[in-house]
Amino acid sequence: MLPLEAFRAAPSHPQDEMILDVAKKTFSDLNIPESPPQMLLWVSVVPSSIFDGSSIDGLARGNTRLASSDQCRIHKNAILLAESMRGKLEPEEWKPLLASSIIFYRKLRRRLLVRLVALSWAPLVLLLVGFFFALFVAAILGAPSWVAFLFVPFLFLGGVLVEGIYGLSLKRSLLFADRQAANVTGRLQFMRVLKKLDSLSQPDIQKRNNRKKVTRLLFVDRPTLGERIRNLELDY
Give the residue among 64, 51, 60, 155 at the shortest CA–CA distance from 112: 51
Residue 80 maps to a domain: yes
Residue 148 maps to a domain: no
CA distance 179 to 201: 24
Instruction: Report the pLDDT value the prediction gives residue 146, as an integer from 0 to 100.
Output: 60
Cβ pair 62, 52 in contact under 8 A: yes
CA distance 140 to 117: 33
Q: What is the CA radius of gyration of the chain?
A: 21
Average pLDDT of span 127-137: 71
pLDDT tens readout for residues 168-182: 888 899 999 999 999
Q: Judge whether residue 31 has pLDDT over 70.
A: yes
CA 184 from chain centre, in angstroms, equals 21
Q: Structural domain of residue 205, as residue ranges?
A: 4-120+157-233
Q: How many independent structural domains does the chain possess?
A: 1
Instruction: Report the pLDDT value the prediction gives residue 109, as an integer from 0 to 100.
Output: 83
CA distance 47 to 75: 9
Residue 40 maps to a domain: yes
Task: Please state the pTM of the whole predicted model.
Answer: 0.76
Q: Which residues contact 50 (CB under 8 A, 6 or more apart)?
A: 105, 109, 112, 170
Cβ pair 96, 190 in contact under 8 A: yes
Using DSSP, state whether 75 is helix, strand or coil: strand
Residue 131 maps to a domain: no
CA distance 216 to 54: 28
**Residue 14: which pLDDT band, with cuts at 50, 70 and 90?**
confident
Residues in the chain: 236
Higher pLDDT, 236 or 104: 104
CA-angle at 96, arms to 91 and 98, nearest 5°: 75
Residue 82 maps to a domain: yes
Residue 145 maps to a domain: no
Residue 128 maps to a domain: no
**Residue 6: which pLDDT band, with cuts at 50, 70 and 90?**
very low
Cβ pair 165, 120 in contact under 8 A: yes
For the chain, the first-to-last Cα distance in angstroms comes to: 46
Residue 75 maps to a domain: yes
What value does the mean pLDDT of the chain take?
A: 78
